[in-house]
Structure 1
């Protein structure tokens, strides 16, 4: 009977470790922390839930941070989450977010959510990060928007439909 309890406990522990690694991407969280990038497990879980490969977003973010380009991570506002039905609050929040993005663009930083959005749009965050790093090393103004425009195709090719 004791052996069954021990085996069951080991099974539960292995399942928990699997969840930490697979769903919460604990290994990426450790890499980010080692590099000095403060990212939360909830952000990594959110990427997973939105269908984004967290590795494709986090590794370029770590690369940017190591090369001296500031990567802003989202800070979840607990008070604000309770006020999501207040339209005036949402308008104010949208204005603040737009202002924050403009300030980030001016100082040459990138937001983690921008890298994630770029990945969702079909772009390669790694190429964007490499472009930004090359701009910084060449002494040019670092711009996420410009680097993202270089990576994404200008026009989408129409898909051909086959008739059955």
Structure 2
């Protein structure tokens, strides 16, 4: 019997230990004790309710303790609702503490809104205290004399807390500064003017108010490097000359083709006329034979016709001989 009682006692003790472990794993007693030790009074049932709402208590209580120690007035319901909305509670509390230390006016609601918008609110607060330098790649512009000028700028910006929600990012700032550099170089009379006064670019760009609608405030724009590129004007003139040359060649080829076509057409007309002449000459004997049969042509008429032909051939041969002799004398 005593052995059975000992076994039951051991079983009850083990069951009690297991039950206590389960309760402690569900109820964050240690976290509750830590909060009480830090001066943050929280009901234990509030922590149990967080478990039931699938909220990790440490993700809310630890930032609450941090905020309480820093003297920031935030409630547990505010932190829990921000956690349930998908925000980073610890980063928001850190941003509030950093803003308080830097004397920057920042409320929990605005800080939570910035965090939920996808911005790093802590980095924004730090950038408000310590401005950030954004370096642009080489941006090319063409001066009025046709010379390409490449410029690289360093943009010093400070985060604007009021415009973090809905404000444009770094890409927009870089694009606007690049547009300002291109327009400034393009309005210069020659590239030498840009090389002699690179600060003219920064002064002109700063006057344009490029930070409007962005999450940053541009403090300065410094030209880090200026370089000479290609002679775009000469390249364009060369390309234009080449294009004009090709157009002229095409027109000349068109005229040559038309001349060849006209020549071929004249040759065809001459051949057609020769064919008609041959056809007409072939009809002469037939006509003469018909004239003999009908009595319209006599023997004497035919002999006179032959004499005229012989006389014509003789005159043609004499004139050709005279032409050849004149050519030989000129040579």
Query: When the two structures are superposed, what TM-score results if normalisation uses the length of structure 1?
Result: 0.65
- Farther-moved stretch of structure 1 (11-20 vs 112-121): 11-20
Following superposition of structure 1 onto structure 2, how do residues 9-158 of structure 1 map, counting pairs within 5 Å?
9-69=12-72, 109-153=73-117
The 3 A distance-change label for structure 1 pair 66 and 17 is farther
How many angstroms does 1:47 deviate by? 0.4
**Contact 1:35–1:62 (CA under 8 A) maintained in structure 2:** yes
How many angstroms does 1:139 deviate by? 1.8
Structure 1 unmatched ranges of 5 or more: 70-108, 155-164
**Contact 1:132–1:147 (CA under 8 A) maintained in structure 2:** yes
How many angstroms does 1:152 deviate by? 1.0
Q: String of CA shifts for 1:53-111, please: whole Å, max 9, x gaps.
A: 11111111111111122xxxxxxxxxxxxxxxxxxxxxxxxxxxxxxxxxxxxxxx211
Q: String of CA shifts for 1:104-154, please: whole Å, max 9, x gaps.
A: xxxxx2110111111111111101110111111112335111111121126
Q: Distance in 2 between matches of 1:17 and 1:141?
A: 47
- Higher RCO (CA < 8 A, seq sep 6+): 1
SS of 2:54's equivalent in the other structure is coil
Q: Distance in 2 between matches of 1:137 and 1:31?
A: 25
Runs of 4+, deviation exceeding 6 Å:
none
Q: Distance in 2 between matches of 1:134 and 1:31?
A: 24
The 3 A distance-change label for structure 1 pair 17 and 141 is farther
Q: Distance in 2 between matches of 1:21 and 1:120?
A: 24
Q: Distance in 1 between matches of 2:70 and 2:90?
A: 13
Higher strand share: 2
The 3 A distance-change label for structure 1 pair 16 and 68 is farther
Aligned to 1:99: none
SS of 1:32's equivalent in the other structure is helix
Query: When the two structures are superposed, what TM-score results if normalisation uses the length of structure 2?
Result: 0.33
Aligned pairs, how many?
Answer: 116
CA RMSD of aligned residues (A): 1.8
Structure 2 unmatched ranges of 5 or more: 119-331
How many angstroms does 1:14 deviate by? 1.6
